[in-house]
């Protein structure tokens, strides 16, 4: 038996709505995490495609695409990191100035801190959900957040929120 993707109009509409609701914020979050639009394109497209192919096997498609996109992006970054290691990543995307400045700033944070901060402060996930998405414990996320906030505030030269 060869499984096929779901082809009912109702299910397709569900995925269309899922993309409509999650596609852009997910792409921006992965882009902010990776700093690379190719990685973001790949990761988001692949996550949605796999979610569609898995059909009913995915109980929570929203959580699934976020988790999968971040893990695919992390894997891609790791692979690229082995191939090339330029000292400073240059963004090749034309961005509004404020976004460009933010992207360049968070690009200076370690990868896991970037992921935790983006998911917590941009996507609005609670610590528990951040941990599930990036595949680590809540406590680890808290430390990434603590370290990341400290360094990000320094980079932004902003007063502390606490």
CB closer to another protein, 49 vs 62:
49
Q: How far is the CB of 66 from another protein (least distance, A)?
A: 14
CB closer to another protein, 13 vs 62:
13
Three-state helix/strand/coil letters over the chain: CCCCCCCCHHHHHHHHHHHHHHHHHHHHHHHHHHCCHHHHHHHHHHHHHHHHHHHHHCCCHHHHHHHHHHHHHHHHHHHHHHHCCCCCCCCCCCCCHHHHHHHHHHCCCCHHHHHHHHHHHHCCCCHHHHHHHHCCCHHHHHHHHHHHHHHHHHHHCCCCCC
Q: How far is the CB of 49 from another protein (least distance, A)?
A: 3
Q: How far is the CB of 81 from another protein (least distance, A)?
A: 4
CB closer to another protein, 63 vs 104:
104
Q: How far is the CB of 14 from another protein (least distance, A)?
A: 9
CB closer to another protein, 5 vs 62:
5
Report the alpha-carbon distance of residue 69 to residue 134 in Å, rounded: 10
Q: How far is the CB of 63 from another protein (least distance, A)?
A: 14
CB closer to another protein, 19 vs 63:
19
């Amino acid at each position: 038996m060869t499984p096929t993707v779901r082809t009912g109009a109702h299910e397709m509409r569900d995925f269309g709505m899922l993309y409509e609701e999650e596609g852009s914020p997910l792409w921006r979050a992965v882009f902010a995490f990776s700093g690379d639009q190719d990685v973001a394109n790949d990761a988001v497209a692949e996550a949605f495609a796999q979610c569609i192919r898995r059909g009913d096997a995915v109980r929570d498609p929203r959580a699934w695409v976020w988790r999968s996109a971040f893990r695919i992006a992390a894997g891609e970054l790791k692979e690229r990191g082995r191939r090339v290691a330029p000292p400073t990543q240059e963004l090749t995307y034309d961005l509004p100035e404020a976004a460009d400045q933010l992207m360049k700033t968070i690009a200076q944070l370690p990868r896991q801190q970037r992921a935790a901060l983006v998911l917590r402060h941009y996507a609005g996930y609670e610590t528990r959900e951040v941990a599930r998405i990036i595949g680590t414990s809540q406590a680890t996320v808290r430390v990434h957040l603590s370290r990341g906030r400290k360094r990000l505030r320094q980079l932004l030269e902003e007063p502390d929120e606490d």
